[in-house]
Amino acid sequence: MKALERADIESVLFGGHDSIVTQVRGYQNYDISDYKITAINNPSKKRPWTDTKIKSEFWKKIFDDLQPKSYADFGCNLGYYVFASTFSGVPSLGVDYNSEYIHICRAIKFRHNIQHANFIETTLASWQLSSCKYDLLTVFNVIHHLYNRTEQYLEMEPLITDFANKANKAILFEVPTEKDKKGHKWAMDTGYSEQLFVKTIERIFSKYVKIEGQTKERPYYLCTL
Ligand SMILES: C[S@@+](CC[C@H](N)C(=O)[O-])C[C@H]1O[C@@H](n2cnc3c(N)ncnc32)[C@H](O)[C@@H]1O
The CA distance from 7 to 152, in Å, is: 21
Tell me, what's the pLDDT at 43?
86
CA-to-CA separations, 48 to 23, 37, 41, 216, in angstroms, rounded: 20, 22, 11, 12
* Domain segments of the chain as ranges: 49-224
Which residues are within 8 A (CB) of 156 and not within 5 positions of it... i.e. 6 or more apart?
Answer: 192, 196, 197, 199, 200
pLDDT given at position 2: 85
Q: Which amino acid is at 147?
A: Y
Residue 102 Cα to ligand 1 midpoint, Å, equals: 11
153 lines ligand 1 (CB under 6 A): no
Give me the pLDDT at residue 154, please.
Answer: 95
30 CB under 6 A from ligand 1? Answer: no
Q: Is 145 in the pocket of ligand 1 (CB under 6 A)?
A: yes
With beta carbons less than 8 A apart as the criterion, state whether 203 and 196 touch: no
Q: Is 141 within 8 Å of 50 (Cβ atoms)?
A: yes
Buried/exposed code over 103-116 (b: 16+ C-beta within 10 A; e: otherwise)? ebbbebbeebebeb
Atom number in ligand 1 closest to CA 146: 19
HEC string of the chain equals CCCCCCCCEEEEECCCCCCCCEEEEECCCEEECCCCEEECCCCCCCCCCCCHHHHHHHHHHHHHHHCCCCEEEECCCCCHHHHHHHHCCCCEEEEECCHHHHHHHHHHHHHCCCCCEEEEECCHHHHCCCCCCEEEEEEECCHHHHHHCCCCCCCHHHHHHHHHCCEEEEEEEECCCCCCHHHHHHHCCCCCCHHHHHHHHHHHCCEEEEECCCCCCCCEEEEEC
The fold for domain 49-224 equals Rossmann fold (3.40.50)
Res 6: pLDDT: 95
Residue of minimum CA distance from atom 27 in ligand 1: 77
Each residue's pLDDT tens digit, 136-172: 999 999 999 999 999 999 999 999 999 999 999 999 9
- Say how many Å lie between the CA of residue 139 and the centre of ligand 1: 9
Cβ of 39 closer than 6 Å to ligand 1, yes or no, is no
**Cβ of 183 less than 6 Å from ligand 1:** no
Residue 145 CA: which ligand 1 atom is closest? Answer: 16
Q: Which of 6, 47, 95, 97 to mutate to test the pocket of ligand 1 (most atoms within 8 A of CB)?
A: 97
Asked if 211 contacts 223 with a C-beta cutoff of 8 angstroms, the reply is no
Task: Express each pLDDT in 85-133 by its tens digit.
Answer: 999 999 999 999 999 999 999 999 999 999 999 999 999 999 999 999 9
Strand partners, 209: 222
Query: Taking the model in full, what pTM does it have?
Result: 0.98
How far, in Å, CA of 225 to CA of 212, rounded? Answer: 21
